[in-house]
Amino acid sequence: MGAHQHLLYHIVFSTKDRRPLLRDDNFRDQTWRYMAGICSSLGGHAVRIGGHFDHAHVLVKIPAKVAVADFVRTLKSNASRNINESRNAVLKFHWQDGYGAFTVSRSQEAEVVRYIENQLQHHTKRDFKSEFMLMLKQHEIEFDERYLWE
């Protein structure tokens, strides 16, 4: 019969120290497009990528043969490398070390897409730290806030 899977993840990670390095609209859009290309090169499919000035949201289908941790590590490292090689910035661009990965059912996909598309408006009311802790709590993921922001 074979294996049939729909592995959809909402992955969230911030810039190092949550620095607002993604303020420029064109730069942010270019970063999201480049990240979508990385997802494809890894055998995945970026359904939607977006975010705010200090973090990214990636709704992506990941092939079963690729571990989520490996996928995210490659996505972040390749995106950082591209940003640093394409810009002559004094300070190097880095993502935070960690990330959040949340499974999404097919029935919730459109809602998560809307959520990602509305990040700029959403963050007029809630900062990234509050948003991320709420996501962890909603998914019943235990965490120690002392180590959450490293």
User: pLDDT digits over 98-117, tens only?
Assistant: 999 999 999 999 999 999 99
Cβ atoms of 6 and 106 closer than 8 Å? yes
Counting beta carbons within 10 angstroms of the beta carbon of residue 123, is it exposed (0 to 12), middle (13 to 18) or buried (19 or more)?
Answer: middle
Supply the pLDDT for residue 86: 84
> Which pTM value belongs to this model?
0.91
pLDDT of residue 62: 96
Q: Is 107 exposed, middle or buried (0-12, 13-18, 19+ CB in 10 A)?
A: exposed
At 139 the three-state DSSP class reads coil
Per the model's pLDDT, the better-predicted residue between 42 and 147 turns out to be 42
Domains of the chain, earliest start first:
8-148 (3.30.70.1290)
- Mean pLDDT for the stretch of residues 128-149: 87
- Under the banding of pLDDT at 50, 70 and 90, the label for residue 150 is low
**Amino acid letter, 128:** F
Answer for the pair 52, 128: CB distance below 8 angstroms, yes or no. Answer: yes
pLDDT average, residue stretch 13-38: 94
**Rounded percentage of the chain residues whose pLDDT exceeds 90:** 74
Distance CA 19, CA 24 (A): 13
Listed residue (27, 21, 41) closest to 96, CA to CA? 21
Q: How confident is the model at residue 1, as a pLDDT?
A: 66
Higher-pLDDT residue of 58, 146: 58
Give long-range contacts, CB 8 A cutoff, 24+ apart: 129-134.
129/18, 132/12, 132/14, 132/55, 132/100
Mean pLDDT, rounded, of the chain: 92
